[in-house]
């Protein structure tokens, strides 16, 4: 049972509290069948994250709690359940990494191919520019030869005319037929000079374009080499991601086989040094199936599978071992059969002292489960941040006092064997769950998918 931090004050109020609770007990006992449905409905109305901001805050609170779990924990009979979760999670993570590596590799290969095509096109342009330049060189050489020939002829055929006479011809003196022929020749010569100058300009332009194209070619070549290197590295990373994913799948298959075969080996008691903080390892069908095959006769009207699902879900939301908390509840209530559980939806003796008939009362079975998980968190964490609002503001334990289930001994309850008793029940649960896995059961229990759906972010 949970003991409050100020029992002296509560003892002074005990007579009045006892009278009130006794009357409430009579009324509730007379209304149990009718009120159970209402309580179950009320349990469904507990506040849950409804917006993205609330979901993010709840996730942050859970993850911060999980980060506080002891780094080293003793080997436990339920380790195979965690191994299969861990290996499957790794498979999923590596599958995503493999897809990402594949996508990046393919994109890099496409970029490298495009760069290679751009380089080839630039090299074709360079070849064409070289051809234009060579043609311009050839054309200029040819026009220069023609100009040279014409220049020589201009002086050779000048014959009887001196330079002054030639200048007069150019200025338009055509009184002499020979002079007219000389003027025509001079016009041809002038035209050849223009053609030669144009050939020079064409060659200069061809050289300029070739120089510019070679800059493009050099850039394209550098880009192609760089992207080819990137593609090569990403192809290596892709191969590494594929290898890691295949190895993870093999590890997951080995973990699955180990879980299926674990029931054939002697089971050792789960040590009480197991941490309070952690995600549940068993599922709701494991808990409910074990309970229903046991000697228990619950007095509550809520289905055991509902209790089991709530313990798992509430444990997961706060980062606490809800599966072991279920075993704690079975110990505290005698199998959901004591007055606290029937009247107060109190499944772990919260606030139930030796001098009072009942502990705290909660509005619904679901609220009682949440209260137990939240109080366990208050024992495990010095400054707990809760994923959901506190069911009762009195749920304050000696913060950070208890890291393990064994630490609850003489703290949560005065029983000096409290921790071992909880773990003995939980060990029996683990044994039952292992036998289910050996029969091929429990790998696709509906509660797992249901809880996973409830944990998805809001749309």
Confidence at 24, pLDDT banded by 50, 70, 90? very low
Q: What is the pLDDT of residue 381?
A: 96
Q: What is the pLDDT of residue 47?
A: 86
Residue 453 has pLDDT above 80, yes or no: yes
- Higher pLDDT, residue 33 or 247: 247
Helix axes 14-44, 365-380, angle to 10 degrees: 110
Confidence at 440, pLDDT banded by 50, 70, 90? very high
Spell out the domain ranges in the chain. Answer: 7-77+267-454, 94-242
Q: What is the pLDDT of residue 168?
A: 55
Q: With contact defined as beta carbons under 8 Å apart, do 336 and 299 qualify?
A: yes
Kindly report, residue by residue over 365-388, the tens digit of the pLDDT.
999 999 999 999 999 999 999 999
Give the lowest-confidence range in 124-133, 252-261, 354-363.
Answer: 354-363
Kindly report, residue by residue over 155-176, the tens digit of the pLDDT.
666 544 544 554 554 555 556 6
Residue 8 has pLDDT above 50, yes or no: no
Residue 407 has pLDDT above 50, yes or no: yes
What percent of the chain is modeled with pLDDT above 70?
83
Kindly report, residue by residue over 300-346, the tens digit of the pLDDT.
999 999 999 999 999 999 999 999 999 999 999 999 999 999 999 99
Kindly report, residue by residue over 35-79, the tens digit of the pLDDT.
333 333 334 578 889 899 999 999 999 999 999 999 899 999 999
DSSP annotation string for 127-161: HHHHHHHHHHHHHHHHHHHHHHHHHHHHHHTTTT-
Chain centre distance of CA 173 = 96
Q: With contact defined as beta carbons under 8 Å apart, do 388 and 319 qualify?
A: no
Chain centre distance of CA 222 = 36
Q: What is the pLDDT of residue 208?
A: 94
Residue 118 has pLDDT above 70, yes or no: yes
Residue 418 has pLDDT above 60, yes or no: yes
Q: What is d(CA 215, CA 137) in angstroms, rounded to the nearest whole number?
A: 21
- The fold of the 94-242 domain, in CATH, is Helix Hairpins (1.10.287)
Q: What is the pLDDT of residue 372?
A: 98
Confidence at 194, pLDDT banded by 50, 70, 90? confident
Kindly report, residue by residue over 136-150, the tens digit of the pLDDT.
899 889 888 887 877
What percent of the chain is modeled with pLDDT above 90?
68
Q: What is the pLDDT of residue 21?
A: 35
Confidence at 279, pLDDT banded by 50, 70, 90? very high
pTM reported for the whole predicted model? 0.72
Kindly report, residue by residue over 196-234, the tens digit of the pLDDT.
888 889 989 999 999 999 999 999 999 999 999 999 999
Q: Which candidate, 3, 429, 93, places its Cα nearest to that of 11?
A: 3
State how far the alpha carbon of 96 is from the alpha carbons of 90, 238, 244, 327, 394, in Å.
10, 12, 12, 37, 44
Q: What is d(CA 449, CA 71) in angstroms, rounded to the nearest whole number?
A: 29
């Amino acid at each position: 049972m949970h003991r409050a931090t100020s029992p002296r004050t509560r003892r002074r109020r005990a007579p009045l509290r006892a009278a009130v609770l006794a009357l409430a007990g009579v009324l509730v006992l007379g209304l149990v069948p009718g009120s159970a449905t209402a309580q179950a409905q009320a349990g469904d109305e507990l506040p849950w994250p409804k917006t993205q901001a609330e979901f993010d805050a709840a996730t942050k609170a859970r993850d911060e709690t999980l980060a506080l779990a002891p780094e080293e924990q003793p080997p436990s009979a339920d380790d195979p359940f965690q191994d299969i979760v861990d290996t499957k999670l790794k498979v999923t993570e590596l599958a995503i990494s493999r897809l990402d590596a594949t996508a990046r590799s393919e994109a890099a290969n496409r970029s490298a191919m495009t760069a290679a095509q751009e380089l080839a096109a630039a090299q074709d342009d360079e070849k064409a520019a070289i051809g234009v330049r060579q043609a311009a060189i050839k054309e200029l050489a040819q026009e220069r030869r023609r100009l040279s020939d014409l220049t020589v002829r201009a002086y050779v055929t000048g014959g009887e005319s001196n330079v002054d006479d030639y200048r007069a011809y150019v200025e338009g003196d055509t009184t002499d037929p020979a002079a007219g022929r000389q003027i025509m020749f001079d016009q041809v010569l002038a035209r050849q000079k223009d053609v030669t100058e144009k050939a020079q300009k064409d060659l200069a332009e061809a050289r300029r374009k070739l120089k510019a194209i070679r800059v493009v070619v050099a850039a394209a070549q550098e880009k192609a080499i760089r992207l080819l290197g990137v593609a090569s590295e990403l192809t290596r990373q892709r191969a590494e991601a594929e290898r890691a994913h295949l190895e993870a799948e093999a590890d997951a298959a080995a973990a699955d086989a180990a879980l299926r075969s674990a029931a054939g080996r002697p089971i050792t008691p789960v040590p009480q040094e197991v941490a309070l903080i952690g995600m549940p390892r068993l599922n709701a069908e494991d808990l409910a199936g074990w309970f229903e095959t046991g000697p228990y006769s619950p007095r509550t009207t809520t289905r055991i599978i509902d209790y089991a699902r709530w313990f798992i879900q509430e444990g997961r939301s706060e980062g606490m071992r809800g599966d072991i908390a279920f075993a704690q509840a079975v110990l505290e209530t005698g199998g959901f059969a004591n007055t606290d559980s029937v009247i107060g939806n109190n499944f772990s003796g919260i606030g139930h002292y030796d001098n009072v008939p009942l502990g705290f009362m909660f509005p619904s079975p679901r609220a009682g489960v949440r209260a137990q998980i939240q109080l366990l968190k208050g024992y495990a964490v010095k400054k707990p941040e809760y994923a959901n609002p506190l069911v009762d503001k009195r749920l304050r334990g000696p913060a950070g006092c208890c890291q393990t289930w064994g630490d609850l001994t003489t703290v949560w309850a005065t029983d000096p064997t409290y921790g071992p008793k909880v773990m003995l029940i939980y060990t029996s649960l683990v044994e039952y769950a292992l036998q289910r896995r050996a029969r091929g059961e429990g790998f696709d229990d509906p509660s797992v998918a249901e809880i996973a759906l409830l944990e998805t972010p809001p749309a």
